[in-house]
Amino acid sequence: MPVLALALVFIASGCTRGMNPVTGNTRALGYSWEEEIELGREADQQIQQQYGVYDDEEVSAYVDEVARRVLAESHMRRSDTPQQFRDTEFTFRVLDSPIVNAFALPAGYIYVSRGLLAHLNNEAQLAMVLGHEIGHVAARHASQRAARQQLTQIGLLGGAVVGQSVLGGEAGSQILNLGGTAAQLISLSYSRDHERESDALGVEYSALAGYEASEGAAFFTALKRQRDQSGQALPAWQSSHPDPGNREVRVRQMAEEWRSRASMTERNEPAYRSAINGIVVGNDPRQGFTENNTFYHPELRFQFPVPTSYQVVNQTQQVVMVSPNEDALIGLTFAEEDTPEAAVQSFVSQQGLTVVSQDTRRFNGVTAQRALVEGQQQNGSTVRVLAYFFEHEGTPLMFQALTSGAQYDTYRAAFVRTIEGFAPLTQPDKLNRQPTRLYQQEADRSGPFRSFVDSSTLPDSMTLEDLAIMNQVGVDETIEAGQMLKLPR
């Protein structure tokens, strides 16, 4: 895929009319149901590549089981719902991301992150979250939004050299928000009315499935604490949505309204805690980590230097480094072609690119095909891309560094130093680095939460307050003997 771009583009050719399974009404929609199915299928592949799927079959099977129990009570499985909706297959995935997030794609692709699972305390809370996302699909919110906005294009990831601007003030924010941008495809772009409707549907579906639907309120409380603690925008699942404090109150109110119509008794805390016991928390160093201005990847067994003050964004399919002024990018990703020679030829033959130079470089036992190309952006300015293509332990890789033509000489040394600093990783302490995991532990005494935490076990960037929020308790809250806690090891 050319130049850091892993783009998913939805094209809405115009409005159509279709049925809303929740209301039974026919209304203007952006896509037919068949188009939604195809869009969801295509987007699912991009989401898996961007986030990665969490590699734990037991956790995945557990989430799938709870999800299908909730799905069975939704409008998508009711006898009075048209067959085309009832026959739609749903897919539930756990994404390998520490971000607290859940979102849905059209026609039944629903995702929860391992970061979100770590912040829940029981099965009822998970059921409410899953019910909320199923509600987005059932109410066809993505298609409603497309019709209302006359949507023409939604890109998951920016970064193409020709055809769109990736430099200047927007460049860094686009790259730094790659993970969140994918989630915004559906959940963050819904209207407040859509979110309120999905909250109501999440309560309804989880209540009818027998869960204590009011438990969902505790999750919203945790999200509000996370926002207040960070002093930043709401967590990904909540951005541009109704305030989580208000949602907490409304969820409790709606749950009480359902209490007389459903047997809302199950929380299933032991089953939930058992299912997520040992879940990875925070960033997984096996997939790469930065230390002392060096990026290490234990699984793929390589390392390279990171320019001073560059922001590193590490994802499943690529590592991106953004300059402090957000006007230069360096990225390492997999090459699509089987050989470096084929990869460089494919790269330089892209329409709109002019080859400035092309040669072969050797460094640290690596033989790389190198090309410097120039292209023109929509605003008329030029951009230069320095690209290296090579193999590492049989895996084809490509490094690409880009900035404006006017600034290329300023950044060239940093580009070359980073790329030609690529080398095999041999240090045992880096190769054997393991992730921090969250384990269930029963309190052996009464005492404040902080007294149960060994701060040396907290992963990088996690604070005591973060861990307390994850446990849905206060830092100084008294924990009673026998109470279950989630503690890192």
| pLDDT tens digits along 451-473 | 999 999 999 889 999 999 999 99
Asked if the structure places residue 31 within a domain, the reply is: yes
The amino acid at residue 214 is: S
**Nearest-angstrom CA–CA distance, 241 and 155:** 21
Last residue of a domain, one of 280, 303, 331: 280
Q: Is residue 358 part of a domain?
A: yes
State residue 230's pLDDT score: 63
Report phi then psi at 470, rounded to 5.
-60, -30
Any domain includes 7: no
Co-location of 209 and 308 in the same domain: no
Q: How many domains does the chain have?
A: 3
Q: What is the mean pLDDT of the chain?
A: 86
What residues have CB less than 8 Å from 310, skipping those under 6 apart?
321, 322, 323, 324, 330
- Compute the Cα dihedral for 251, 252, 255, 257 and give only its sign: negative
The predicted model scores a pTM of 0.84
Of 431, 458, 479, the last residue of a domain is 431
Q: Are residues 21 and 164 in the same domain?
A: yes
In a domain, 226, yes or no: yes
Between 66 and 195, the more confident residue is 66
d(CA 338, CA 335): 8
Q: What is the pLDDT of residue 149?
A: 55
The single residue listed with the structure tokens 């279709």 is 18
Tens-place pLDDT, residues 280-321: 999 999 999 999 999 999 999 999 999 999 999 898 889 999
Q: Are residues 258 and 378 in the same domain?
A: no
Burial zone of 475 (CB within 10 Å; 0-12 exposed, 13-18 middle, 19+ buried)? middle
Residue 145, in any domain of the structure: yes
- Please check whether residue 11 lies inside any domain of the structure: no
Q: What is the pLDDT of residues 321-372, one digit of tens each?
A: 999 999 999 999 999 999 999 999 999 999 889 999 999 999 999 999 999 9
On whether both 239 and 366 belong to a single domain, the answer is no
pLDDT at 207 over 50: yes
Q: Which of 242, 146, 168, 251 is nearest to 205 (CA)?
A: 251
Expressed as residue numbers, the domain containing 141 is 16-280
Measured from the Cβ of residue 375, the count of other Cβ atoms closer than 10 Å reads: 20
Residue 4 belongs to some domain of the structure: no
> How would residue 46 be classed by pLDDT, with cut points 50, 70 and 90?
confident
CATH of the domain at 329: 3.40.1000.10
Is residue 241 predicted with pLDDT exceeding 90? no
Residue 270 and residue 355 share a domain: no
Q: Which residues contact 50 (CB under 8 A, 6 or more apart)?
A: 6, 156, 157, 178, 179, 182, 315, 316, 317
- The radius of gyration of the chain from alpha carbons, rounded to an integer in Å, stands at 24
Instruction: For residue 443, tell me if it sits in a domain.
Output: yes
What distances in angstroms separate CA 261 from CA 208, 215, 265, 340, one per listed residue?
8, 17, 12, 64
Do 131 and 95 share a structural domain?
Answer: yes
